[in-house]
Structure 1
Amino acid sequence: MKFTLSLFREYMANYLKVKLTYRADFWVEVVSDLLFSAVNLIFIFVVFQHTNSLGDWNQAEVIFVYGYFMIPSAIFGTFFNLWNFSDRYIVKGEMDRVLTRPAHSLAQVMLENVDPPSLIGAFVGLAIMGSAWSTLGLPFSWYDPLVLVVMVIGSVLIYAGIYTALAAISFYSDAPTGIVPLMFNIQNYGRYPIQIYNKGIRFLLTWLLPFAFVGVYPASFFLERHKDLVMSLLTPVVGIVVAGIGLLFWNHGVRRYRGAGS
């Protein structure tokens, strides 16, 4: 762990050197992420122009869930930027270079693709949560920040486990699978209260692809009307399990990998 953290410092130093040379690229990334978040937030407002509630969730509660959703999503996007793993590391053969080094292969891939501008979304999400918290008049307890940190870590681990497993599919087939874009669309269902979906989708988002634990379930811990203590406290547990499965799948794929060949 100490060795990996030292690598993180070196990679971040190199990243900052590059971005200080090409500063416009950094701000373009920040602005594009903010615009993407703004569009999604505006969509929620548009929906509530045509209805007073989604199920029994009002506008402020849905915005609260969305604000929470943004935090783990942004942290995941910062440190687990695995979207182009198959093309870069398998098809182009860069995985061979990674495996010649002593650090764990997944840690190296993560550090090589770190994207700090995405972290801005976490602060925006926190601000959205704070605004909705005030609008709803929710009580604030001393342990709420600690619980939020634990919930966010659990949610990030769920993202990490799912997308690590999807990236590891490339070890078994170097052909583009098209699964990642599909998964990205599915994860967006976690922005909204799971109660508005039918039973099949609720089961999918809770137990098969548990994106409900990156949005509504952990956020419900802080909501008075929709507090689901059991499911919210399961978030870190589900996160550890899913991340463990993803890591096992990755390690198995690495052992199976035989190089880029010719």
Structure 2
Amino acid sequence: MSGVMRHLRILREFLRAALVEEMEYRSHFVSNLLMTLFGVAMAVLTVQVFFYQTKSLGGWGFYEVLILLGVFNALQGFVDMVLRPNIGRIVQHIRKGTLDFILTKPVDSQFFISFRHIGIWKFFDILMGLAIVAFGVYGAGIRLEFDDVLLFMLLMLASVVTLYSLWMGVMTLSFWFVKVENISFLFSSLFETGRYPVQLYRDWLRFLLTYVFPVAVLTTFPAASLIGKLEFGHVGISIVIAWVTFLLSRWFWKRALRFYTSASS
């Protein structure tokens, strides 16, 4: 328990350092906010265009798809706030040998390399995504109970853990491959499929997007929990996939460190 509290204190210091750094460039707040608003407007407009031609997408109505879009945008905000600024640096740390300095610090190396740099203004992307979720719930006339909100939060936590673990696993390949940018691009492209309900895809592709690259766990299941479309067993699937992917990413990172040749060796 003391170890957890220690890492939480370190995370607090990372957040404080990020805030101090970003306050030097306050115009970033305005530019990021405008970009977020523009991106959200275009995404909603795209969904609206689809619904000019049809009444549902994979059995999901307009406001239900908006809820899904909100979940996707919140997760995209997490990617831009935490994953891209940190995990994307793994390649440079390995190439330049600066990973040596991280490994000598009295803190877990995976934790440090995952959270040291935080794009603090991207937090508004997460808030905007959750605002879209709330608007979709209101527009669909859904009355949520406290249990529904708790279930949604649980599934969102599973989504965040799964997304982090998958991204971490991809970037850990940098220990063996010089260029992983193409794999990272493929990862981002697959994640984009989460903008739409997994029911929209064919059976074989739906299976792949649930169990191989779990887009359904990332976006569809949390959104489905709010609109009454969550099937039996989906909660268990989300938790198991989140737990398994996290353990695998942890194991993969530790194994990769054994193959790391430091700059001083």
Q: Same fold (TM over 0.5)?
A: yes
Q: Distance in 2 between matches of 1:44 and 1:34?
A: 16
User: Contact 2:18/2:117 (CA < 8 Å) preserved in 1?
Assistant: no
Q: 2:178 aligns with which of 156, 174, 179?
A: 174
Q: 1:131 aligns with which of 135, 139, 149?
A: 135
User: Contact 2:171/2:180 (CA < 8 Å) preserved in 1?
Assistant: no
Q: CA deviation at 1:30?
A: 3.5
Shift in CA distance, 258/208, structure 1 to aligned 2, threshold 3 Å: same
State the partner residue of 2:76.
Answer: 73
Structure 1 residue ranges, 4+ long, deviating more than 6 angstroms after superposition = none
Q: CA deviation at 1:113?
A: 2.1
Q: Distance in 1 between matches of 2:95 and 2:34?
A: 31
1:153 aligns with 2:157: yes
Q: Distance in 2 between matches of 1:113 and 1:169?
A: 20
Q: How large is the Cα RMSD of the aligned pairs?
A: 2.0
Q: Distance in 1 between matches of 2:19 and 2:35?
A: 19
State the partner residue of 2:146.
Answer: 142
State the partner residue of 2:115.
Answer: 111
Q: Aligned AA for 1:203? A: F
State the partner residue of 1:28.
Answer: 31
Q: Distance in 2 between matches of 1:260 and 1:50?
A: 58
1:57 aligns with 2:57: no
Q: Aligned AA for 1:100? A: T
Shift in CA distance, 88/36, structure 1 to aligned 2, threshold 3 Å: farther
1:16 aligns with 2:27: no
Post-superposition Cα deviations, 1:163-198, rounded to whole Å, max 9, x if no partner, equal 010110001122345100111010111121111111
1:247 aligns with 2:262: no
Q: CA deviation at 1:56?
A: 2.2
Percent of paired sites with the same residue: 25
State the partner residue of 2:48.
Answer: 45
Q: Aligned AA for 2:42? A: V
Q: Distance in 2 between matches of 1:249 and 1:231?
A: 26
User: Contact 2:198/2:215 (CA < 8 Å) preserved in 1?
Assistant: no
Q: Distance in 2 between matches of 1:260 and 1:251?
A: 18
After the TM superposition, which residues 227-238 of structure 1 pair with which residues of structure 2 at under 5 Å, given as runs? 227-238=230-241
TM-score, normalised to structure 2, is: 0.90
Q: Distance in 2 between matches of 1:78 and 1:23?
A: 16
Post-superposition Cα deviations, 1:204-224, rounded to whole Å, max 9, x if no partner, equal 111111111111122212213
User: Contact 1:218/1:235 (CA < 8 Å) preserved in 2?
Assistant: no
Shift in CA distance, 55/152, structure 1 to aligned 2, threshold 3 Å: closer
Shift in CA distance, 207/99, structure 1 to aligned 2, threshold 3 Å: same
**SS of equivalent to 1:29:** helix
Which stretch of structure 1 is more off in the superposition, 189-198 or 82-91? Answer: 82-91
Greater share of residues in helix: 2
User: Contact 1:206/1:213 (CA < 8 Å) preserved in 2?
Assistant: yes
1:189 aligns with 2:158: no
State the partner residue of 1:121.
Answer: 125
**SS of equivalent to 1:222:** helix
Q: CA deviation at 1:11?
A: 1.8
State the partner residue of 1:205.
Answer: 209
User: Contact 2:165/2:249 (CA < 8 Å) preserved in 1?
Assistant: yes
Shift in CA distance, 87/245, structure 1 to aligned 2, threshold 3 Å: closer
1:163 aligns with 2:167: yes
TM-score, normalised to structure 1, is: 0.91
Q: CA deviation at 1:79?
A: 2.7
Q: CA deviation at 1:249?
A: 0.9
After the TM superposition, which residues 76-95 of structure 1 pair with which residues of structure 2 at under 5 Å, given as runs? 76-81=79-84, 82=86, 84-95=88-99
